[in-house]
Structures are given as C-alpha cells and as structure tokens.
Chain A
C-alpha cells in the first residue's frame, strides 16, 4: 500500500490547476487503491469538489478504488452542502 496522497490545505479555484497537473503526474498505477489524505483541507470550494469528483469518476472508470482518508470538517461540510457527500464513501461504491 502506497502512502496517501496529501491534498493541500487550499482546494479552490486558485489551486485546482496545479493540483490537477500534479495528480495526472503522480496518479498511482491502476492496481493499487488511490488514497487521498484529506485531513489538511481547510479551504475548499466547488471547483475543488469538482476536481475530486472528476478524480473519483476517473478511478471508477478504471476500476480503481479511491478513498479520502480522514476528511477534514471543511471538506465534509462543503461536500454535504453541494450534495456530493457520496464522494466521501466512494471506496464502497467502487468495491461493489
């Protein structure tokens, strides 16, 4: 199991460009699950959530498990507010 990929503290329109680029570069191979350390996320907006959605969708297409480890309260709150709280439990969805 590889180390979780740490999401930055700010996950907003201002950072999604860089994060997107580095995720493309650093995405682990399809056989191992993608772990995202979401504990540091303090600032997140719809653009940030959308990036996570897209990432989850991509993993789903590849049959790869994805898990948000220890999501911060900011992330939980924002994803609930946008109606994408399913994102937080994606690994079950992918496993089933």
Chain B
C-alpha cells in the first residue's frame, strides 16, 4: 500500500469518529455560548470555547474538509479575540457565533453524507464571515499591542526554552491552518523571540501557487509549559509539516546574543541568496522527533467513558433478546421434564439472564437532560425572533431512557416547543393586557411513571381556543358542521392530519404538517401524546413513551389459543377466577364492580373476535394508564414473562391497542398490548369505534 493509499484508508476509517467528535464539540460550543450569556467574562468557558473550535478546525483540516476548516477558522479568530479580551461577548456576537455553530454543523453533516454542502450554505457562510470580520476588524488595533513580542516577562523558575523550526507543509493554508494562528497561540503560552520567517522555499512569483504554503518559521520559545503541551500545539500541522523542537540548555540564554549559526539560512528580507536553500529536507526529517502518538493528553478531570459504536451495542442487545427467548424455552422444557434439579438450574440461568438484561439495557440509557438543554437554544432564538420574553424551566433532566428513544423524540419535541413559543405564549404586551407577568414560562419536564417516561411541555400562554379549533374542524370537514364534540375531543382534533389554526403562517410552525406528524412519530415509538389546555391559562402537552424499545417485563395472559402480554408495570391487580361477564356489548365492552366502584372492562375475545368457546370462569387484569383504571377480561393468567419486543408484522399494523409482538419460549407468538390505546377502546363511548376496523384474530402469528 502506498503512503497515499494508507492515508486514504485511514481517513475513511477515522472519519466517522471525527464526525461524532465534531458533533460533540459543536454541542459543547453551543452550551458554552449559552452559559457565557450569563457569565460573559468567564475565562475558563472562553478557553473551552476556543479549544472546541480549534479542535474542529484542526481535525477538519486533517481530514481534508477544507470548507469546515476554512469557515471554522474565522470563528476561531473571533473566539481568540474574545479570549484575549480584545473583543467582548455581546448578545449580538453570541447570536452570530451560534449561527456559525449551526453552519459548521451543516458542513459536518454534509461531510457525513459525503456530499458537498449546497449553494445556500455557501452564501450563508459568506454572510456569517462578513459578520465575524465586522466584529474582529476594529479590535485589530488593540490586538497589535498585545501580540507584539514581549521579552520582559518576569523570570520564572520553571521557565524553559526551545528553539523551534517549522517547515510548513505545502497544503497548510488549504487545510485551513494559519501559521499566524499558531504563533498567536504560542504567544499566549509563553515568550516568542528571534522570530524569523524564511521564504527560501518560495518559487518564482510567476510560478508560485499562491494557495500553497512555502513558509518556514524559526524562533526561540520560552515558557513554563510542559514539553508535551508544546508538542500538542503542533499536532494540527504535524502531519504535513516538519517540526523541529530543540530544548535550549538554559532559559537565561534567551534574549542574549545567540549564535547566529542557529538562525535560519535565509530571512524574509529581500536579500535572499540562492545559497539559502541549503538545508535539505531529508536531513531535517532525521532530526524530527517522532510524531506524538495521539493528540493532546486528555485532562485528568475528564469523565472516564468508553466510546462504543452503537451497532455493537445493538448487536449485543439483539443477541440478548434471543437469549431471553431461548432461556424461556429451556425452562419450559425443564418444567415439562419435571426434574427438580434441572428446573432449579434453569431458574438460576433465568435470573442471571434477567440481570444481564437489565445491565445491558442500562448501557443504552441516557439522561434526557441533554436533549432538553438543546431546547435552550431553540427557546432563546425563537423567542427573540418573535419578540417574546420566555423563561425556560427544565425539570427531571436526569430521567433516563433508551438512547434510540431519545434520538427519535427530539424532533417531535422540537416541533411542540416551537408551537408553544409561536402559538401558545403571547407577546409581553398581550400578557400584560391579560394580567400576567410579561415573561412567559415554558417548562420541559420528564419523569418515570408505570414503566414509561412522561415528558411534558407546559406553557402559561393563551391556551387553545376551542371555538376556533372547532370552527376550523368544521371548515376542514374533520367534524361534521354543527356537531359539538366534547372538550377533550376538540383538543384531540389538533392532532388530526392537515390541521392548523395559525392565523398567519410563520416560518416556525403553522404549515399544517405539524401536530399530526408529531403524533405519528410518537406513536411509532409506541408512545402517545395528549393535550390539556385551559383557555387563557396555558397548555400542557404530555408525551408518554416506553422506557425501552427492546425488552420489557410482561404479564402473559391467554384467551382461547391466543396469548397476549401486558407491560407488567401497567398491571395493578388481577381478579382471578370469577364467573365470566355476561353483559358485554358486541365490541366487548362491559363493566364490573370492584370494591364498590364501577370498573370498565374490555373483553378480548369479543374485541378481537377470537374464535373459541367462552369458558365458564375467567379473570380480569386491572390496568392503569394515564390515571385511568380499567379491566381486561381474559381466560387464563400465565404469569410474569420477560418479553423481547418485536415489531408487529405488516398485517397487524392496523390492530388497535397493540404495540408489538413477542416470541414465547415454545415458539408461540404473543401480542403485546399498548395499555394506553387499549384504555381508549375500553372507556370510550361505543359509537366512536363503530366504523374502525378491528381485524378478526384467530391465531397469534405475526407475518
């Protein structure tokens, strides 16, 4: 393999890691910028900000992502000035930097798809660069004094000196590096003296490639920093350039008349001579210290995490699902064999599998706070755009849920948050007129409840105007004109396809594709969404999601030959072995009396038209969902079951009340109930379902 090919394959292999790292840096940049809004002079934050941008730029350069490197360079320049104190972070600058951050993200995403960024992005970048320049240019005059070499720093016990020579690689400029930035960085670390810039490698003017770099710098650098820190400063250019760092015997030599033999053969003045090109590249290569094995050593306070590719984790979880099924099968056989020792051994295996399952699923759990804090930015920008004053409150950010759920909930949430800002919360004037405080409140909260996670988006805005919603529904033919549904049903109309009540279509929401898409996205995650609103006081949207998409504890029941599973967390109690309910309507709805309370009950046999004789006695499983209790009448209670969730086959998608399927130990298929939508079937008035299709179900096999 030629070195070139090695490079290419290295880049192809390392690019995904770079991209994921870049996304993290971008997220960090955003958070830091937002934090700085309340603490604009915080030097540590400013340093971290600069480092993140610098790392993105540097590694983008290494990967040949020229656009990223070039654009980030401008951002870095401004950040450097902020860090130096030659520019101050105003809200305008902050907004600009946030936009730049977005734009870098666009570029990174383009790189991820290996597609060039579109033309719109280029013009946006151009505009942003103009903005960045407008800020950084006036401060150049101030910077001048700051960057002039200063040699009169106080003598320092730990001061060390190095003579450094850098032959910049030909691609340095094109990779987005600037020797000036390197020098400026070093001047921040220590003293830089005897700087000479050699132009000996410069070709004839006519023949030169103006974008190639032919510069060689040599200087004496004195600082208290560790050698490794110094080495790290050259990490970004080391791949292309020749860097020679020579420790000087004594720091006191600095500033005294050094032997000129050390200095460069040629300086930048016009008196260059042909002899200046004497230093041969090969000789330098020998002297060059081996490249440091990795980038700057990780700070010790960094949390100790192992980065694992998500697909490896998914593979383990898939295998674990198979293991759970296989172990259920084995313990079933053990039971049938009636051998005590075998059953005990299987029991133990089962327990271990369960522990491994819990531990493994834990690996995928992430805190939702990270997703929530993304909305700080959205709220800030959107509120500013709409001239509204909004305070965002976040509660329960440490609530954990499956990473794949978190990833897929972000978009629907984004829409809901924007909706709340756009339609829900009023402008300060309107709020004052309505007797509220001028600052609107938006609360994002998360908590666990009965095996699911509850995410709420609550605002204290104007609420949903039911009459308006109804009017629109009549116009759109979603409800027959003149019919007055119940309040809750009117609110639910908001999630109907093609519904939008915004009087003017803003660029934030109101395109009418919103809420029904939100609902279907959430339903795809086996979740559901509900809305609560008091006119004039606010709106609360509740998203209920399963904790994980992979494995749950289930409660297995049988009806005829079919098996069904309820999520165990939703099961409140069971009423065993009672006479079968006689009074069921044709869709399987009835009621039982439980401790002198009326409990709505749904009969699975009737609901799904299961073809088997009704036994004389049956049991009722009492379930709880969204504060409602209801019963489900079943033939047999089969007990707790570790349930590996498989998606429903296409044929069963239209089944109401189902969320997935699972394979039992004996190879049978059981359907998993979505307790929430089943509760609607159990408690809703019958006419609503008269024309909904519920497929007849005979044998529980998924396609």
Partner of B140, one of A47, A49, A61, A74: A74
Within 8 A of A (CB), among B180-238: 180, 183-184, 195-197, 199, 202-206, 208, 210-211, 213-215, 217, 219
Counting contact residues on chain A (CB < 8 A from B), the size range is: 35 or more
Across-interface contacts of B495 in A (CB, < 8 A): none
A13, B70: Cα distance in complex, Å: 9
Asked if A17 is at the interface of the complex by the 8 Å CB criterion, the answer is yes
A87, B148: Cα distance in complex, Å: 16
Partner of B211, one of A16, A54, A61, A94: A16
A81, B183: Cα distance in complex, Å: 7
Q: Are A43 and B137 touching (Cβ within 8 A)?
A: yes
A93, B210: Cα distance in complex, Å: 24
Interface of A is mostly: helix
Beta-carbon contacts of A47-63 to B below 8 Å, as 1s and 0s?
10111011111111100
A90: nearest residue on chain B (CB-CB)?
B270
Partner of B205, one of A42, A54, A90: A54
Asked if A73 is at the interface of the complex by the 8 Å CB criterion, the answer is yes
Across-interface contacts of B196 in A (CB, < 8 A): 83
Q: How far is the CB of A38 from chain B (nearest CB, A)?
A: 14
Q: How far is the CB of A32 from chain B (nearest CB, A)?
A: 17
Q: How far is the CB of A48 from chain B (nearest CB, A)?
A: 9
Partner of B217, one of A47, A83, A90: A83
**A24-B206, A58-B205, A74-B137 given as contacts; is B70 within 8 A of A45 (CB)?**
no
A16, B70: Cα distance in complex, Å: 14
Q: Are B144 and A76 touching (Cβ within 8 A)?
A: yes
Q: Are B272 and A57 touching (Cβ within 8 A)?
A: yes
A78, B148: Cα distance in complex, Å: 10
Q: How far is the CB of A41 from chain B (nearest CB, A)?
A: 10
A42, B205: Cα distance in complex, Å: 23
Partner of B180, one of A19, A45, A53, A55: A45
**A14-B70, A45-B180, A84-B268 given as contacts; is B202 within 8 A of A54 (CB)?**
yes
Q: Are B179 and A46 touching (Cβ within 8 A)?
A: yes
Number of interface residues of B (CB under 8 A): 40
**A19-B210, A45-B178 given as contacts; is B140 within 8 A of A77 (CB)?**
yes
Q: How far is the CB of B445 from chain A (nearest CB, A)?
A: 47
Q: How far is the CB of A43 from chain B (nearest CB, A)?
A: 6
Partner of A17, one of B210, B217, B219: B210
A13: nearest residue on chain B (CB-CB)?
B173
A77, B203: Cα distance in complex, Å: 25
Across-interface contacts of B202 in A (CB, < 8 A): 50, 53-54, 57
Asked if A82 is at the interface of the complex by the 8 Å CB criterion, the answer is yes
A57, B70: Cα distance in complex, Å: 28
A77, B183: Cα distance in complex, Å: 13
A39, B197: Cα distance in complex, Å: 23
A48, B281: Cα distance in complex, Å: 25
Q: Are B210 and A47 touching (Cβ within 8 A)?
A: yes
Across-interface contacts of A78 in B (CB, < 8 A): 180
Across-interface contacts of A23 in B (CB, < 8 A): 205
Asked if B269 is at the interface of the complex by the 8 Å CB criterion, the answer is yes
A22, B364: Cα distance in complex, Å: 59
Q: How far is the CB of B48 from chain A (nearest CB, A)?
A: 25
Across-interface contacts of B215 in A (CB, < 8 A): 46, 50, 82
A77, B187: Cα distance in complex, Å: 14
Partner of B133, one of A43, A60, A73: A43
Q: Are B197 and A82 touching (Cβ within 8 A)?
A: yes
**A13-B174, A77-B147 given as contacts; is B211 within 8 A of A47 (CB)?**
yes
Q: Are A54 and B199 touching (Cβ within 8 A)?
A: yes
Asked if B591 is at the interface of the complex by the 8 Å CB criterion, the answer is no
Beta-carbon contacts of B167-180 to A below 8 Å, as 1s and 0s?
00000111000111
A50, B269: Cα distance in complex, Å: 12
Q: Are B214 and A50 touching (Cβ within 8 A)?
A: yes
Partner of B204, one of A42, A45, A58: A58
**A13-B174, A82-B179, A86-B269 given as contacts; is B208 within 8 A of A20 (CB)?**
yes
Instruction: Identify the interface centre among B211, B217, B269: most chain A CB within 10 Å of its CB.
Output: B269
Q: How far is the CB of B268 from chain A (nearest CB, A)?
A: 4
Asked if B109 is at the interface of the complex by the 8 Å CB criterion, the answer is no
Across-interface contacts of B137 in A (CB, < 8 A): 42-43, 74
Across-interface contacts of A81 in B (CB, < 8 A): 147, 180, 183-184
Within 8 A of A (CB), among B39-76: 70
Across-interface contacts of B272 in A (CB, < 8 A): 57, 60
**A13-B70, A47-B173 given as contacts; is B179 within 8 A of A77 (CB)?**
no
Partner of A57, one of B144, B183, B217, B270: B270
Asked if B153 is at the interface of the complex by the 8 Å CB criterion, the answer is no
A14, B178: Cα distance in complex, Å: 12
Chain A residues engaging chain B, CB cutoff 8 angstroms: 13-14, 16-17, 19-20, 23-24, 42-43, 45-47, 49-51, 53-61, 73-74, 76-78, 80-84, 86-87, 90, 93-94
Shortest 3 CB-CB distances between A and B: which pairs? A58-B205, A83-B195, A20-B210
Q: Known pairs A20-B210, A93-B271. 20 more at Cβ < 8 A?
A: A13-B70, A14-B70, A17-B210, A42-B133, A46-B179, A50-B199, A50-B213, A54-B208, A54-B214, A57-B205, A57-B270, A58-B205, A76-B144, A77-B140, A77-B143, A82-B179, A84-B268, A86-B268, A90-B269, A90-B270
20 contacts between A and B (CB under 8 A): A13-B173, A42-B137, A45-B178, A46-B180, A47-B211, A50-B215, A51-B210, A53-B197, A54-B199, A57-B205, A57-B272, A58-B206, A59-B270, A73-B140, A78-B180, A81-B147, A82-B179, A82-B197, A83-B197, A86-B270
